[in-house]
């Protein structure tokens, strides 16, 4: 992305107060690897800060710069200078997949060498600078055997919050749900038996999931955010950009010059659960927490619509619900026998769900 | 370091100090990149930093007065924005 | 439930709705026509033939007559619906519904031509092209035109007539949505032997079909053509709205979601109908049995979406 495109996008957002009435803004930088372009990012962030201030925009009082990084150059002076200059407005997540073996399966340099060691050496600095930040892990079929050891390993590295979810794409094989459930039950045993629940959290386990749903809201936030690509085209989420889609045409909702075509946003802002779901999903007794990605729904749909919910994740969600039930039943029984349930309730860690 | 819960403010009061807190942070970080070359904004920033600091301190003074918070020499008050709880922090 | 099959007898068949029929002449083969008729008989569908301007080969007419049907033509003679373009009423037939396809610019300039016709024609359907090009000034202009036409209709009622002008009188008569029905009640057979949601889908992209005569109909996500799966329309009471599926797809990319412009136009019509109904009632007992049309404070139901939760 050129600075000029970024500048136009910022100007558009700040000019269009009528269409962006939220109290705050998150400027989210997604790569590739965003910190490879730290000079550009610094220039963009400085422009955003100056413009929010110069225009007396309310977002100056409530903004964040958000980064998901592979962490490889986190220690470099240019990155550290940027962090020092913006620390109170930064949210930085370093992506580490789990154990060395698991991480190096997918995250390798051009020469084939795994990147685990280079990432891990930056974790202490990152945790020192951002002790409340967690990491985000995405599970696909081949990752299932590594779930338990990976989460425990991330805890060992000092990461207290693990945001973890299954991919929404239809990658699941026969028996994956059973193996997934087994991993989550074993992980539950480790967390509870070793009292890890006191200081660590894993988003697989949540009391909010696995109940019938009465709420008719949309799960996914596509359309509530604005994504801009390097050429200056706007999308309801980057999952609708050409490079994110397998077979469908991108859904472009505008560009930095002409602004947003509000008509293209209407379907996103009126989506609800029942309109896009099959009857079995509407009636599902464990629907709570069953997530969907609007972009994947669109990509997998029989027609060019965002109104056909993909159910590829169904078996995995049900497996998660069973393991989740096991987790809470076991944990509460332990706490009750110990007489510490009240203490737990009072001090329990709150995990903010991150879905994609 | 010890932290003792000594009171709670209303959500409206919390929002007021949170906005001032965010603004103060924003101004401080802006000060790192804004130079005197940009005279108009620089002047605005300097004035704003002073005013925001005053309003920030005034909030703590007024709340301490209103809620009669406990204090000790060398200690300071801290707010949890999520719960609106006020803590007395001592070394 | 499907009830109608439009058969486009030629690629240059007249457009009777919002879409543009911008293709060269290509006659449907007589075998396709026969197969289309057979398909309609098997599926229990009423056929609406859409004719081109040129005369068809003689043998086509005998095939066409093998089943009960409606004719949609530009020429009013022997038509059940005639289509007027460019405000040229020379070939129109007052005894059948007249579809007046117009640009907004022509409508704004020539709407007074309707004054004499409203009382003579059996029914007038105004179809405005390029609805998505309306801006706020255009909406104001349209509102004024609806009021002016409303006065004409009101006078006709005083004279004991019951004229039908879709954009003003339909809403007074309706108790529920009465929309285009493409994909739900109506489908289209094109000259290539394939089936489409409506002619507009065919003219946009021939590959965008919903089956063919050989393999039958296959409407994917067909629930999305129904009112109960239309997130905005199901909350709406502009019952006369075309709810044009083709325009929906073109402007919002979804068949079940109308554009802002379509909603505002429909609500300007709805509100003008409300006023007209009240005015007509002042003159006596006409339309006293019709349901009241409530006053509302919006022109686009999308703006009220927070109330639906």
Cβ–Cβ below 8 Å for A60 and B25: no
- Spatial distance between the Cα atoms of C151 and B50, rounded to a whole number of angstroms: 66
Q: Where exactly are the structural domains of chain A? A: 1-131
Residue A90 and residue A130: Cα distance in Å, rounded? 9
Q: Which residues of A touch C259 (CB under 8 A)?
A: 263, 266
Asked whether C261 and C251 are in contact (CB, 8 A), the reply is: yes
The alpha carbon of residue C22 is apart from the nearest alpha carbon of chain A, in Å, by 24
Q: What is the pLDDT of residue A14?
A: 97
Same domain (yes/no): C152, C174: yes
CA pair distance C28, C122, nearest whole angstrom:
31
Domain check: are C120 and C234 in the same one? yes
A188-221 confidence digits (pLDDT tens): 999 999 999 999 999 999 998 999 988 888 989 8
Count structural domains, chain C.
2
**Using 50, 70 and 90 to split pLDDT, how confident is the model at A353?**
low
| Distances A200 to A129, A151, A156, C153 between C-alpha atoms, Å | 18, 10, 10, 73
pLDDT at residue A352, as a whole number: 57
Q: What is the pLDDT of residues C50-61, one digit of tens each?
A: 999 999 999 999
Using CB atoms, pick whichever of C253, C257, C261 lies closest to residue A270. Answer: C257
Q: What is the pLDDT of residues C156-203, one digit of tens each?
A: 999 999 999 999 999 999 999 999 899 999 999 999 999 999 999 999
Least Cα distance to C191 among C20, C28, C15, C7 occurs for: C28
Residue of chain C whose Cα is closest to the Cα of A214: C309
Instruction: Tell me the C-alpha distance between B17 and C15, whole Å.
Output: 64
**C253 → closest Cβ in A264, A269, A302:** A264
* Closest residue in chain A to residue C257, using alpha carbons only: A267
Nearest to C229 among A251, A262, A275 (CB): A275
Q: A117 pLDDT exceeds 80?
A: yes
- Considering only CB atoms, C254 lies closest to which of A272, A302, A306, namely A306
pLDDT of residue A31 exceeding 80, the answer is no
Q: What is the pLDDT of residue C76?
A: 85
Distance from CA of B24 to the nearest CA of A (A): 8
Distance, CA of A291 to chain centre:
12
Q: How far apart are CA A236 and CA A227, in angstroms?
A: 6
- What is the percentage of chain C residues whose pLDDT exceeds 70? 100
Task: State residue C200's pLDDT score.
Answer: 98
Between A54, A61, A88, which is nearest B29 by CB? A88
**Does one domain contain both C232 and C211?**
no
Interchain contact A222–C (C-beta under 8 A): no
A56 shares contact with chain C (CB less than 8 Å):
no
Cβ within 8 Å, pair A267-C224: no
Please report whether residue C100 resides in a domain: no
Report the candidate in C162, C290, C167, C160 with the shortest Cα–Cα distance to residue C240. Answer: C167
Question: Measured between CB atoms, does A272 come within 8 Å of chain C?
Answer: yes
Q: Tens digits of per-residue pLDDT, A294-334?
A: 999 999 999 999 999 999 999 999 999 999 999 999 999 99
Residue C138's nearest CA partner among C18, C13, C268 is C268
d(CA C199, CA C182): 9
Preceding omega of A32 cis (within 30 degrees of 0)? yes
Subunit contact A271:C256, Cβ cutoff 8 A: no
**pLDDT tens column, C253-262:** 999 999 999 9
DSSP state of C16: -
Contact A302 C251 (CB under 8 A): no
Average pLDDT of the segment spanning C283-296: 85
Is the alpha carbon torsion for A282, A287, A288, A291 positive or negative?
A: negative
- Asked whether residue C241 carries a pLDDT value surpassing 80, the answer given is yes
Record: contact B30-A53, CB cut-off 8 A: yes
Exposed e or buried b per residue across A73-112, where buried means at least 16 C-beta atoms within 10 angstroms of its C-beta = bbeeeebeebbebbeebbebbbbbbbbeebbbbebeeeee
Does residue A349 surpass a pLDDT of 80?
Answer: no
3-class secondary-structure state, position B1: coil
Same domain, C25 and C170: no
Determine contact, residues A118/A63, Cβ cutoff 8 Å. Answer: no
Q: Which of A46, A54, A88 lies at the smallest CB-CB distance from B25? A: A88
In this structure, the strands spanning B85-90 and B76-79 are antiparallel
Identify whether residues C64 and C18 lie together within a single domain.
yes
| Pairing status of strand C69-73 against strand C46-50 | parallel
Tokens 């009021």 -> residue: C147
Identify whether the C-beta of residue C255 lies closer than 8 Å to the C-beta of residue C225: yes
Q: From A272, which residue of chain C is nearest by alpha-carbon distance?
A: C231
How do the domains of chain B map onto residue ranges?
2-90
Give the H or E element holding residue B76.
strand B76-79
Contact A290, A212 (CB under 8 A): no
Question: Residue A354: is its pLDDT beyond 80?
Answer: no
With a cut of 80, say whether residue A347 has pLDDT above it.
no
Cβ of A263 within 8 Å of Cβ of C132? The answer is yes
Decide if C155 is inside a domain.
Answer: yes
Token pair listed for C252 = 């919002």
Q: Does residue C168 sit in the same domain as residue C301?
A: yes
- Yes or no, beta carbons of C221 and A263 under 8 Å apart: no
CB contact under 8 A, A49 and B29: yes
- Residues of chain B in contact with residue A85, where contact means CB-CB under 8 angstroms, are 29, 32-33
pLDDT tens across A4-29, in order? 999 999 999 999 998 899 999 999 99
Residues of A in contact with C254 (CB under 8 A): 266-267, 305-307
Confidence of residue A351 (pLDDT cuts 50, 70, 90): low
What is the overall mean pLDDT for chain C? 95
Average pLDDT, chain A: 94
Cβ of C224 and A266 within 8 Å?
A: no
Q: Is C163 helix (H, G, I), strand (E, B) or coil?
A: coil
The confidence band for A350, taking pLDDT boundaries of 50, 70 and 90, is low
Cβ neighbours around A329 below 10 Å, total: 11
On whether any CB of chain C is under 8 Å from the CB of A266, the answer is yes
Please give the pLDDT value at position C308. 86
Q: C43 and C61 share a domain?
A: yes
Which chains border A (3 or more CB–CB pairs < 8 Å)? B, C
ipTM for this prediction: 0.92
Look at C70 and B74; give whichever has higher pLDDT: C70
A270, A272, A294, best to mutate vs chain C, most C CBs in 10 Å: A270
Could you tell me the two tokens for C23?
Answer: 């293709």
CB within 8 Å: A46 and B29: no
Contact residues of B toward A, CB < 8 A: 19, 22-23, 25-26, 28-30, 32-34, 41, 44-45
Q: What is the pLDDT of residue A2?
A: 96
pLDDT of C236 > 60? The answer is yes
**SS (HEC) of chain A:** CCHHHHHHHHHHHHHCCCCCCCCCEEEEECCCCHHHHHHHHHHHHHHHHHHHHHCCCHHHHCEEEEEEECCCCCCCHHHHHHHHHHHHHEEEEECCCCCHHHHHHHCECCCCCECHHHHHCCHHHHHHHCCCCCEEEEECHHHHHHHHHHHHHHHHCCCCEEEEEECCCCCCCCCHHHHHHHHHHHHHHHHHHCCHHHCCEECCCCCCCCCCCCCCCCCCCCCCCCEECCCCEEECCHHHCHHHCCCCCCCCCEECCCEECHHHHHHHHCCCHHHHCCHHHHHCCCCCCCCCCHHHHHHHCCCCCCCCCCCCCHHHHHHHHHHHHHHHHHHHHHHHHHCCHHHHHHHCCCCCCCCC
- Per the rule left: phi > 0, alpha: psi between -120 and 50, beta: everything else, C107 is alpha
Contacts of C220 in chain A (CB under 8 A): 302-303
With 0-12 / 13-18 / 19 or more C-beta atoms within 10 angstroms meaning exposed / middle / buried, residue A248 is middle
Residues of C within 8 A of A266 (CB-CB) are 232, 252, 254, 257-260, 302
Quick one: C67 and C143 in the same domain? no
Q: What is the pLDDT of residues C108-117, one digit of tens each?
A: 999 999 998 9
Torsion, Cα C90 C147 C232 C297, to 10 degrees, reads 180
Across the interface, whether the CB atoms of B19 and A53 are under 8 A apart is answered no
- At C123, phi and psi to the nearest 5? -165, 145
How far apart are alpha carbons A167 and A356 in whole angstroms?
9
| A274 to chain C: closest CA residue | C229
Task: For residues C81 and C296, give the distance between their C-alpha atoms in angstroms, rounded to a whole number.
Answer: 34
C-alpha distances (whole Å) from A142 to each of A119, A180, B23, C32, C242 are 22, 11, 46, 52, 50
C and B adjacent (3 or more CB pairs under 8 angstroms): no
Neighbours of chain B (3+ CB pairs under 8 A): A
- In chain B, which stretches have pLDDT less than 50? none
Interface test with A, best of B30, B47, B52, B80 (most A CBs within 10 A): B30
Going by pLDDT thresholds of 50, 70 and 90, the confidence category of residue A99 is very high
Nearest residue of chain A to residue B23 (CA atoms): A61
The DSSP output letter for C132 is G
Percent of chain C with pLDDT over 90: 93
C102 assigned to some structural domain: no
B25·A89 Cβ contact <8 A: yes
Statement: residue C285 has pLDDT above 80? no
**Same domain, yes or no: C25 and C66:** yes
A63/B30 Cβ within 8 A: no
Query: Within an 8 Å CB–CB cutoff, is residue A262 touching chain C?
Result: yes
- C126 and C20 part of one domain: no
Structural domain that includes position C270:
116-178+220-309
pLDDT of residue C8 exceeding 60: yes
Q: What angle do CA C115, C116, C122 make, to 5 degrees?
A: 100
Instruction: Give residue-wise pLDDT tens across range C12-48.
Output: 999 999 999 989 999 999 999 999 999 999 999 999 9
Within a domain: residue C301?
yes
Cross-chain Cβ contact C302/A305 below 8 Å: no
pLDDT for A271 beyond 90 = yes
- The reply to whether residue B41 touches residue A88, judged by beta carbons under 8 angstroms, is no
pLDDT at A55 over 70: yes
Residues facing residue A201 across a β-bridge: A161
- A144 touches C: beta carbon within 8 Å: no
Span C71-111, pLDDT tens digits: 999 988 889 999 999 999 999 999 999 999 999 999 999 99
Q: How far apart are CA C87 and CA C103, in angstroms?
A: 10
Shortest distance, CA B42 to any CA of chain A (angstroms):
10
Q: Which residue's structure tokens are 């029914």? A: C123
Taking CA atoms, A347 is separated from A285, A344, C73, in Å, by 30, 5, 76
Nearest residue of chain A to residue B19 (CA atoms): A61
């Amino acid at each position: 992305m050129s600075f000029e495109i970024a500048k136009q996008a910022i100007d558009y957002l700040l000019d269009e107060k009528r269409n962006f009435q939220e109290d705050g803004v998150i400027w989210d930088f997604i790569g590739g690897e965003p910190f490879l372009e730290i000079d550009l990012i610094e220039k963009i962030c400085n422009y955003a800060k100056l413009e929010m201030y110069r225009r007396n925009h309310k977002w100056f009082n409530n903004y964040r710069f958000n980064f998901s990084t592979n962490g490889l150059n986190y220690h470099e002076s240019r990155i550290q200078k940027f962090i020092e200059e913006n620390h109170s407005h930064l949210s930085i997540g370093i992506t580490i997949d789990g154990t060395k073996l698991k991480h190096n399966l997918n995250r390798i340099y051009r020469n084939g060498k795994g990147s685990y060691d280079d990432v891990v050496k930056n974790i202490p600095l990152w945790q020192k600078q951002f002790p409340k930040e967690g990491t985000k892990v995405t599970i696909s079929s081949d990752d299932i055997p590594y779930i338990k050891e990976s989460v425990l390993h991330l805890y060992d590295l000092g990461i207290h919050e693990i945001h973890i979810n299954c991919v929404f794409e239809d990658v699941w094989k026969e028996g994956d749900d059973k193996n997934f459930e087994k991993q989550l039950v074993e992980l539950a045993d480790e967390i509870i038996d070793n009292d890890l629940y006191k200081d660590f959290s894993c988003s697989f386990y949540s009391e909010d999931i696995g109940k019938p749903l009465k709420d008719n809201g949309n799960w996914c936030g596509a359309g509530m955010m604005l994504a801009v690509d390097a050429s200056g085209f706007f999308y309801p989420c980057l999952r609708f950009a050409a490079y994110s889609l397998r077979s469908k045409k991108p859904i472009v909702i505008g560009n930095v010059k002409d602004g947003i075509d509000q008509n293209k946003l209407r379907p996103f802002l009126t989506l609800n659960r029942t309109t896009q779901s099959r009857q079995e999903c509407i009636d599902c007794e464990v629907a709570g927490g069953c997530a969907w990605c609007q972009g994947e729904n669109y990509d997998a749909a029989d027609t060019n619509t965002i109104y056909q919910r993909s159910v590829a994740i169904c078996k995995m969600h049900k497996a998660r619900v069973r393991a989740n039930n096991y987790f809470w039943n076991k944990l509460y029984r332990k706490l009750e026998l110990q007489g510490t349930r009240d203490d737990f309730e009072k001090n329990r860690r709150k995990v903010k769900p991150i879905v994609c | 370091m010890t932290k003792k819960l000594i009171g709670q403010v209303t959500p409206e009061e919390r929002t007021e100090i949170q906005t001032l807190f965010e603004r103060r942070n924003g101004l401080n970080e802006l000060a790192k990149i804004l130079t005197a070359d940009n005279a108009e904004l620089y002047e605005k920033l300097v004035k704003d930093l002073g005013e925001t600091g005053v309003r920030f301190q005034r909030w703590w003074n007024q709340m301490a007065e209103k809620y009669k918070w406990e204090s000790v020499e060398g200690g300071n008050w801290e707010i949890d924005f999520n719960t609106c709880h006020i803590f007395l922090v001592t070394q | 439930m499907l009830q109608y099959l439009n058969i486009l007898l030629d690629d240059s068949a007249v457009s009777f709705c919002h879409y543009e029929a911008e293709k060269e002449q290509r006659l449907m083969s007589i075998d396709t026509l026969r197969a289309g008729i057979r398909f309609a008989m098997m599926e229990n569908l009423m056929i609406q033939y859409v004719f081109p301007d040129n005369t068809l080969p003689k043998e086509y007419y005998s095939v066409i007559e093998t089943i009960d049907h409606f004719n949609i033509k530009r020429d009013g003679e022997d038509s059940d619906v005639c289509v007027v373009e460019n405000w040229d009423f020379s070939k129109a037939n007052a005894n059948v519904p007249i579809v007046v396809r117009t640009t907004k610019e022509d409508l704004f300039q020539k709407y007074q031509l309707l004054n004499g016709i409203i009382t003579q024609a059996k029914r007038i359907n105004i179809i405005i092209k390029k609805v998505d090009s309306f801006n706020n000034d255009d909406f104001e202009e349209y509102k004024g035109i609806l009021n002016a036409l409303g006065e004409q209709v009101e006078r006709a009622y005083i004279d004991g007539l019951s004229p039908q002008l879709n954009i003003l009188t339909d809403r007074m008569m309706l108790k529920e949505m009465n929309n285009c029905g493409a994909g739900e009640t109506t489908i289209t057979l094109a000259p290539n032997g394939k089936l489409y949601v409506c002619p507009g889908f065919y003219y946009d992209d021939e590959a965008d079909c919903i089956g063919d005569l050989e393999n039958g109909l296959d409407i994917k996500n067909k629930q999305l053509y129904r009112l109960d799966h239309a997130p905005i329309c199901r909350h709406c009471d502009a019952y006369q709205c075309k709810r044009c599926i083709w325009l929906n797809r073109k402007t919002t990319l979804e068949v079940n979601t109308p554009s802002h412009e379509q909603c505002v136009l429909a609500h300007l019509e709805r509100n003008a109908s409300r006023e007209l109904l009240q005015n007509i009632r002042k003159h006596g007992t006409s339309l006293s049995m019709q349901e009241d049309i409530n006053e509302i404070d919006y022109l686009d139901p999308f703006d009220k979406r927070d109330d639906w939760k």
